[in-house]
Amino acid sequence: MTTPRFDIIGQAISDASRTRMLCELMEGRSFTNKELASAAGITAQTASAHLRLLQDAGLVLAEKRGRCVFHRLANAEVAGVLEQLATIAPSDHLIRAQRRKAGDIAQLRSCYDHLAGPLAVAMTDRFLQRGLLVEADGGFRACAGEAWQKLGVTLPPASAVAAAARQPFARPCMDWTERRLHVSGPLGKQLLTHAFERGWVRRNRYKRGLQLTGPGARALDQILGLRSAELIDA
């Protein structure tokens, strides 16, 4: 039996500069060594050493495009684990302080390739209430409904769902600030992609922070009956 090497992962995330770079990469985009060094407040040379360690641990991938090397999280699973680790890292009083400091990013943000924060949690609750999602075997199962098309989601055929049992279409992700589940996986990715394409959300001055637009607030109200203005400052 192979024993998971938690020690390798632990070493990779044990340094504050490396965790700052990982948080930067949680936005879901790729960044250069210089950009990540700036985010972590370290030199480019030091950032290179940190990134090599993160790559060796399987958390980060490097891709050369032209003359530049871009770094990104290895996959959505890494992002999900980091988001969940964030829920247990600080104590309750530190969480409250962090939310005040984080500002907009704590209200609505991207978690790698899907929505997170109070609005994402509220959307997931509404999906469950309306039977669009069903909790099953510790995860989510997406059920047919008109709302999905309006939200830009195309459900896979039943045969594809069965074949992709190890990587389900809808996955639960523990929200860092809310301590409740929001939906991730391909379904979550489709929701965020559609929201960007329709102009329902836009990026703000925080790297991962998102702003819900007027059209977005109206769409969520009309499609899900969700009064988003009560959750965040739209």
- Per-domain residue ranges of the chain: 6-74, 97-230
pTM: 0.64
Look at phi and psi of residue 167 and say left if phi exceeds 0, alpha if psi is from -120 to 50, else beta.
Answer: beta
Distance CA 92, CA 99 (A): 11
Quickly list H helices, 89-145.
92-102, 104-107, 118-129
CB-based contact 144:161 (threshold 8 Å): no
Residue 83: the pLDDT is 77
Angle, nearest 10°, between helix axes 44-56 and 16-25?
A: 80
pLDDT (tens place) for every residue of the chain, 234 residues total: 677 788 888 899 999 899 989 988 887 778 899 989 998 999 999 999 999 999 999 999 998 877 888 998 988 788 878 877 877 765 444 444 444 444 545 678 888 889 998 999 999 999 999 999 998 877 899 999 999 999 999 999 865 555 555 678 999 987 877 778 899 999 999 999 999 999 999 987 656 788 899 999 999 999 999 987 666 544
Architecture of domain 6-74: Orthogonal Bundle (1.10)
CB-based contact 109:116 (threshold 8 Å): yes
Residue 164: the pLDDT is 52
DSSP state of 164: T
